Amino acid sequence: MPKAPALPGTRPVLITGGAGFIGSNLADRLAGEGHDVLIYDALSRPGVSTNLDWLKQRHPRRISATIADVRDTASLEAAASEASAVFHLAAQVAVTTSLVDPREDFDINLGASFALLDALRRRGERVPLVFASTNKVYGDLGDVTLDLLGDAYVPRDPTVRARGVSEDRPLDFHTPYGCSKGAADQYVLDFGRSFGVPTAVLRMSCIYGQRQMGTEDQGWVAHFILRALRGEPISIYGDGCQVRDVLDVRDAVDAYVSAWRRIDEISGRAFNLGGGPVNAISLRQLLAHIGDITGRPVETHYADWRAGDQRYYVSDTGRAVRELDLRPARPWREGVAALAGWLREERAAPEHAAEHASA
């Protein structure tokens, strides 16, 4: 496996949204490998300050932080000016929030991403940027014919059923969130083509794992577990048979680090990142497993489908596995049980259980 690019002097790796769920796991990995890491985060979501404290305690000589909003262009450009590489994870992450305030969603997801890309372009150096995109760039997949098999939707097309949705799928932005993330996704790729900024895009499905304290709108695996551990009901939008592929955050971090290591080979390209067909589960299947873990059925309430919700999305991870040299993803039952154990230990106190860290 190629080695991560060497840091010139003490120039840090910049992680926007670095105190969030995926960002803090990525920062922990990089700092543990001996890299200086600059966390850029507004700490606006409850719980993320705890993640930053955890990082500083584990890596006091490697972790530094800029506490600022990504819409603060001057602060963002200052952070980018000293970075040796950038992982751009900061975002407005909820479809529901984008429908309430589409302008804020635009400014955070697209405006800030453009400002960051342009700051790297104007440096005139080949500073790599790896961008956290989303499966929502493919729209609601309403043209994929589905059959209901037990408690899960499955595609009628045998190829899609066996492999999932590939990067060859036409883009189709739905909801303001889909538009802002999708447009940023395309800007990242084009700055690689047009200006030679080494960039790569990872279109993520559902990532779960330690340091995730999910909410109803984002981080649903952890959200379901937390509610179940507290004996509280869970709201399901739709019939609960919608399917997603889930990926342990440790495997996601492997992909981000590998994309950086291989940036010269993959620049200007997008990869679907998820658990793939072997880790595809419906909401009902996850709830049943959580019931087995907690020893009691999970109380559920049902409501109407939400705008832009996909009844089925599973990543075709073949391109990512081949070109990023990824090992097989952890089995979802094993990973979910591990997350439940971590949440039980770390969030046992009532005041902690109510916190929600960013995704």
Q: What pLDDT does residue 216 have? A: 64
Tokens (6 digits) for 329? 């993803």
Q: Is the per-residue pLDDT at 9 higher than 60?
A: no
Q: Quick check: is 177 catalytic?
A: yes
Give the whole-angstrom CA distance, residue 220 versus residue 226. Answer: 10
Q: How confident is the model at residue 356 (pLDDT cuts 50, 70, 90)?
A: very low
Across 48-57, 241-250, 302-311, least confident range: 302-311
Q: Comparing 30 with 8, which gets the higher pLDDT? A: 30
Q: What pLDDT does residue 1 have? A: 45
Across 94-98, 132-136, 187-191, least confident range: 94-98
Q: Is the per-residue pLDDT at 348 higher than 70?
A: no
Across 42-51, 254-263, 313-322, least confident range: 42-51
From residue 230, give the alpha-carbon distance in Å to each of 51, 54, 298: 22, 24, 10
State the average pLDDT for the chain: 92
Q: What pLDDT does residue 45 have? A: 84
Q: Is the per-residue pLDDT at 282 higher than 90?
A: yes
Q: Which of 177, 208, 256, 313 is catalytic?
A: 177
Residues 6+ apart with CB under 8 A from 106: 176, 179, 180
